[in-house]
Chain A
């Protein structure tokens, strides 16, 4: 599948900004099953400094600063992405991966610890997923059982989150603690991903946060409107003997070609799409528009 993606973030400032420093994690990953055919980042007003570097997790981080006074900032990332999930190993084709239970998983994680150092850090607490509460643990243990396949358990966890939690963009924000989310059972994709990660880690399994995009389809017979898409987030579980498997609890599916990966992290904190420090005294208004459609 070849996609054309455009992701625009704009800020309007009440009072002029004398200058600003920003960091963006918005360049889609180039990896097995996903090729970045074309990528352009347009920043208005044009930045006086600009750099792209690979971060600790292997994501592309863009830093830029604007040094002349401005009242508007517009960052547009446009990319052409070739997605072919069939190139990736398929969990359904792996008997071992599909069947490995929790006990064996923990043993394998321990015996292979020197080979999978980078994987094992995803078991640990992270900035937004720390002090995992008994409620989350209990929620996890409904699905994760010592002798049950962890793939099966995780699949069920994804389904349960999809069914138990209400998608509601007005309840949470990026700083809402997961402990509140598990109690209220309301939130957005990012909250659901983080709840799932907390569950996996609470039983000792590595789980990571995936930020990216998802293609949404218009109702049958209608034309797709521009800007109806949004940036998306899901999670990925490490299954010993197999590898990472993605799960999307917001849409209750294992991501395939409609999901485009931008960045991996321990949680949202590691991969915010755009953040910055501005020098200004006033308030600002933000607007995000994402559009994904098959490229012609």
Chain B
């Protein structure tokens, strides 16, 4: 280590208290870290700050998020990756950690088989039955289920930490739906991209083989030996804390990301609802906990799972990874017996040491726990949340007595553990390296007759210096986790998959109804946002131009434009209904509300929020460029909300920028998603929304007959809001007339912004939708849009221009537009009915909800 690095490292020395990964008790540097520290010196600690910021920016740009429940700012919180990786040398990793993880995975697999099978472990007195029977994760509904896979436990995950004796200890087992491998992979890529030279001279093992094994394992799990099984990833949805990872893995592995409502059990099989028909699913990689998986047999009020699923599993028509019921292994009560279990099955000791634990279901152990309570950490055997972990050293006497009473009532539900101090590792905080406690999440995948362990994993860091408990649920910092080798390693490659096992759904017929619906609504929201923004911009421009014009009459063009806003956006009463006189006196206030008010239906803010939700549900489809542009739109909104200058001029500037980005974003959608992936649905939603708003605009501005000057101003605004003024001038080279405007923006069949063109386009797209099986007649939506098209063909400009008797209103125009508007609405209704499966609303036969958790 150079002298320079030492000065930069000085603060770290002063912070050093306990066992550290880098600093040894004699203050020498662990040689395994030397190259990395030298690289930091070369990069320069000052530059590290910049690089850390770049890393933060990249994570945000890439939309790497972690949702935090019950936190107003917690949804889509950016993932926090520290620039300093965590290192373990290959020699230690392979000899103890990897071997230990494999041993433990094999062992837990046998325990799982036994618990739901013969229960020899009870009969031989190796595990007391209470440890299993009293644990809420033991699902009697899963008893005696047979699986075709060679392992029952397909994915095993363990949290590890280094104890003060220098050994790596096992802290927790994770066996239901372990999270983190996607984040681990993204961490690796992000750090590599921002700081490629950080690993100069260091050979890092890459996880590509591991992910290939994951894919192979899912493939092999298909119970019916199909040559091309259908595999899906089941997520609870966009509000789950690790939803980013679900979407990330779905696009990385190439499997559809689905929610429970996308799936259905019929004829003893599991099906994915697609636009065309039901498609049989063979393997489900689930990210939902056990009891939520089947509302028929498990948690009655769960909407995350699929009713009847467990019976399909029993009949070996689908494989769930990990199998339902594997939560029983997340069991603090098993810890004290693990070594005996290991002896029983393998005639050997555990390789990874565990924290000394006492299960209170035995008298001797409980007495010991009561005597030494102050020095112990007490947990319920079937709860891992922070609320159920008692760090007794911090509890007052009252609370301790209470805890004792609680334990005495059902002692078998509690386990006490030695409090243990884990090693710290350097973390880059406030421009300095500080020691922080770390916890390493590691992963093993069933691979033929053994397990394959990910080299590295996800390292999580305590947020505060003295923190004992690490959980992402409360937000946290993560690290890239390097296994370093003396040998050269393959470089980190971008995703390259064996195409022979690719089952990616690529046909519009196979598109899941849920994805289709979200795409359809994305199109509608974006169409609505764009038309609304453009129209408001035109009106705001006019307001700025006429600021010094004192002429105010009921029939001046500006007032008419204000009123048209209310009609087009359907935000009544607004400028037309009750209280409109007051609002017309201060129109900017109403327009501001139409832009900014999140709670107002039809406002720009609300439309964007709705889009936001659809957008996050579809996140596995979006490209990185889209994330970036979308992020800039969000930031722009935040800025506007914080701004204290909300004049018409400023709002216009905001809308200018907003519209530009929105158009960029929409162009990205069109180039990022294939029509067969569902872009067709997006187009139909977008065009239909645009057409419906276009009809409203025309009705609001063209139906009434105004005096010449007013008419001129309104027509100009209308064309401006469509970005059609230049086309008009090019086409007609004349003074603006109602006749020519109708010809251009309603009847012209070649001009993309005319109603006739839009309807032709929608019809073409709707006709490309698959015929949904089970519906015999030609889909009603096709009929409706055909009617609209036919109606368009009957229109002629002379008839539309005709004024009624008092010369005030063009009744024919209004009637025609009203009819077309109705037909467009009906088209949308029918699309929804035919393709989006609203008839499948899940309910209980008898409403009940039992406390399973």
**Residues in chain A within 8 A of chain B (CB atoms):** 11, 18-23, 48-49, 51, 53, 55-57, 63, 65, 67, 113-114, 117, 120-121, 124-125, 127-128, 130-132, 174-175, 269-270, 274-281, 284, 286
Contact with A along B829-853 (1 / 0, CB 8 A): 0000000000111111110111110
Rounded to whole angstroms, the CA-CA distance of A57 and B295 in the bound complex is 20
Stretch at the interface among B264-272, B534-542, B700-708, B740-748: B264-272
| B840-A279 in contact (CB<8A) | yes
| B412-A124 in contact (CB<8A) | yes
* CB contact between A278 and one of B130, B413, B843, B851 (< 8 Å): that residue: B843
What are the nearest 8 A-B pairs in CB distance?
A276-B845, A277-B307, A56-B140, A21-B308, A121-B133, A124-B134, A56-B143, A281-B841
Q: Which residue of A lies closest to B122 (CB)?
A: A117
| B845-A127 in contact (CB<8A) | no
Q: Which residue of B lies closest to A270 (CB)?
A: B140
Give 14 CB contacts A-B under 8 Å. Answer: A56-B140, A67-B266, A67-B267, A114-B122, A120-B130, A120-B133, A121-B129, A125-B134, A275-B296, A275-B300, A275-B846, A277-B843, A281-B841, A284-B845
A151 → B minimal CB distance (Å): 25
Q: Which residue of B lies closest to A20 (CB)?
A: B845
Rounded to whole angstroms, the CA-CA distance of A288 and B123 in the bound complex is 42
| A278-B839 in contact (CB<8A) | no
Rounded to whole angstroms, the CA-CA distance of A281 and B841 in the bound complex is 6
Do A19 and B843 contact each other (CB < 8 Å), given the known contacts A65-B308, A124-B130, A277-B296? no
Q: Which residue of B lies closest to A286 (CB)?
A: B846
B273 → A minimal CB distance (Å): 12
Rounded to whole angstroms, the CA-CA distance of A128 and B311 in the bound complex is 24
Within 8 A of A (CB), among B773-793: none
Rounded to whole angstroms, the CA-CA distance of A194 and B300 in the bound complex is 21
Which residues of the partner chain A approach B122 to less than 8 Å between Cβ atoms?
Answer: 114, 117
Assuming A21-B308, A113-B128, what are 17 further A-B pairs, CB within 8 angstroms? A18-B839, A21-B265, A23-B297, A49-B267, A55-B143, A56-B140, A56-B141, A57-B140, A117-B119, A117-B123, A125-B410, A130-B851, A175-B849, A277-B295, A277-B296, A278-B845, A279-B840
Contact with A along B93-131 (1 / 0, CB 8 A): 000000000000000000000000001001101001110
B59 → A minimal CB distance (Å): 40
* CB contact between A275 and one of B130, B133, B844, B852 (< 8 Å): that residue: B844
| B123-A114 in contact (CB<8A) | yes
Q: Which residue of A lies closest to B840 (CB)?
A: A279
B847 → A minimal CB distance (Å): 9
Rounded to whole angstroms, the CA-CA distance of A131 and B409 in the bound complex is 8
Which residues of the partner chain B approach A276 to less than 8 Å between Cβ atoms?
Answer: 296, 844-845
Which residues of the partner chain A approach B849 to less than 8 Å between Cβ atoms?
Answer: 175
Q: Which residue of A lies closest to B308 (CB)?
A: A21
Rounded to whole angstroms, the CA-CA distance of A80 and B52 in the bound complex is 77
**Residues in chain B within 8 A of chain A (CB atoms):** 119, 122-123, 125, 128-130, 133-134, 140-141, 143, 265-268, 295-297, 300, 307-308, 311, 314, 409-410, 412-413, 839-846, 848-852
Which residues of the partner chain A approach B412 to less than 8 Å between Cβ atoms?
Answer: 124
Which residues of the partner chain A approach B839 to less than 8 Å between Cβ atoms?
Answer: 18, 279
Do A274 and B848 contact each other (CB < 8 Å), given the known contacts A121-B133, A279-B839? no
B401 → A minimal CB distance (Å): 15
| A49-B850 in contact (CB<8A) | no
Q: Which residue of A lies closest to B119 (CB)?
A: A117
Rounded to whole angstroms, the CA-CA distance of A120 and B130 in the bound complex is 8
B513 → A minimal CB distance (Å): 14
Q: Which residue of A lies closest to B133 (CB)?
A: A121
A160 → B minimal CB distance (Å): 22
Rounded to whole angstroms, the CA-CA distance of A174 and B850 in the bound complex is 9
| B850-A128 in contact (CB<8A) | yes
Rounded to whole angstroms, the CA-CA distance of A93 and B809 in the bound complex is 101
* CB contact between B842 and one of A22, A49, A277 (< 8 Å): that residue: A277
| B268-A49 in contact (CB<8A) | yes
Rounded to whole angstroms, the CA-CA distance of A114 and B840 in the bound complex is 48
| B850-A278 in contact (CB<8A) | no
A28 → B minimal CB distance (Å): 21
| A19-B266 in contact (CB<8A) | yes
Which residues of the partner chain B approach A18 to less than 8 Å between Cβ atoms?
Answer: 839-840
Do A51 and B140 contact each other (CB < 8 Å), given the known contacts A121-B129, A124-B134? no
A198 → B minimal CB distance (Å): 12
Do A23 and B296 contact each other (CB < 8 Å), given the known contacts A124-B412, A276-B845, A279-B839? yes
* CB contact between A125 and one of B129, B413, B846, B852 (< 8 Å): that residue: B413
* CB contact between B852 and one of A127, A132, A175 (< 8 Å): that residue: A127
Do A55 and B308 contact each other (CB < 8 Å), given the known contacts A128-B850, A274-B845, A279-B839? no
Which residues of the partner chain A approach B410 to less than 8 Å between Cβ atoms?
Answer: 124-125, 131
Central interface residue in B128, B308, B409, by most chain A CB within 10 Å? B308
A135 → B minimal CB distance (Å): 13
